Amino acid sequence: MRNLTNTKRLLIAIVLNVVIVILQLFFGIVSHSIALITDAVHNFQDVLSLIIAFVAVLWSNKKPTKKMTYGYLRAEALAGFINSGFLVGAIFLVILTSIERLITPEEVKSIYVIIFGFIAFFINSFSAVILGFHHHHHHHHDLNITAAYLHLISDAGISLAVALGGIAMYYTGIYWIDPVLSLLFSLYILKETLPILKKSYNILMEGVPPDIDIELLKTEIKKVPSIKDIHDIHVWALSSKDIYFTGHIILNPDTKLEEIEQIILDISKILKSKGIKHITIQPETENFRCENVH
């Protein structure tokens, strides 16, 4: 399973989730089970998110062109934002539905809920395990795959809640157990998803990565010999793995080219230790500050 590419992992998950949707929707209608139909709708949303993730993986691997000089690296953040955004919306709907069912419990043919709740749980869990090999064995998590992974975990949790609720209703006739379990799983997934939504939003808005301290960078760079000042700093990310830096350094007017090259190398070492690999430095003198040139 470790040898599977991200595209193959996502394709397997898509096919398995389509099977879940068809089974739950069909037997939900046959048994008049609102719980199964609701879970089928939630799984269908998962299929859409996985398709978005699949397309994003294909696009993010495309090479830069003359029109798209950065390539399609930001496709990962875009897909991660869409996926996690939809997931947060879906979780709120599940929470509202659960609260409604706590107030007005509905009777269902629980045997169908048990069978197809467990089937959905096992298939979603297997799909999550497939994507989980990427999620747990990489130092830099792909936001796109992580968001899809969380989608599958949420579906597995909700399907398990539906199945356990079906068992409880079958033996006890207590119908509020199902929405209580759904609420607990929903709150957990919400807690796990919000950081992904925040991080992908920050990338799309070209914000400074949360683990980068601009003032600390300036302090360390100013310690490099011959640097009088540094200004016009920009740090942003195009993906969870690609962080960019641009900055203007002020040097003495008599600084030689060989010295400038060494200064840039010294700065690059500092920045690369922070995970910044794409670096652009503009050397200037006090009389030629970029802001003074019109």
Q: What is the pLDDT of residues 88-101, one digit of tens each?
A: 888 888 788 878 87
DSSP 8-class letter at 218: H
210-213 long-range contacts, CB within 8 A, separation 24+: 211/275, 212/243, 212/274, 212/275, 212/276
Q: Provide CATH 1.20.1510.10 ranges for the chain.
A: 6-204
Q: What is the DSSP track for 4-46?
A: --HHHHHHHHHHHHHHHHHHHHHHHHHHT-HHHHHHHHHHHHH
**What does pTM read for this prediction?**
0.72
Contact (CB, 8 A) for 217 and 270: yes
Q: Are 206 and 179 in contact (CB under 8 A)?
A: no
At position 72, the amino acid (one-letter code) is Y
Q: Could you tell me which of 158, 138, 123 has the C-alpha nearest to residue 12?
A: 123
Please state, rounded to an integer, the average pLDDT across all residues of the chain. 80
- What's the CATH fold of domain 214-292? Alpha-Beta Plaits (3.30.70)
Among 103, 81, 16, which Cα is nearest to 239's?
81
3 pLDDT band (50/70/90 cuts)?
very low
Class of domain 6-204 (CATH, top level)? mainly alpha
CA angle 150, 54, 7 (to 5 degrees): 100
Q: pLDDT band for 234, please (50, 70, 90 cuts).
A: very high
Stretch(es) of the chain classified as CATH 3.30.70.1350: 214-292
Q: Decide if pLDDT at 46 tops 80.
A: no
pLDDT band for position 189 (cuts 50, 70, 90) = confident
Region class of 68: left (phi > 0), else alpha (psi between -120 and 50), else beta: beta
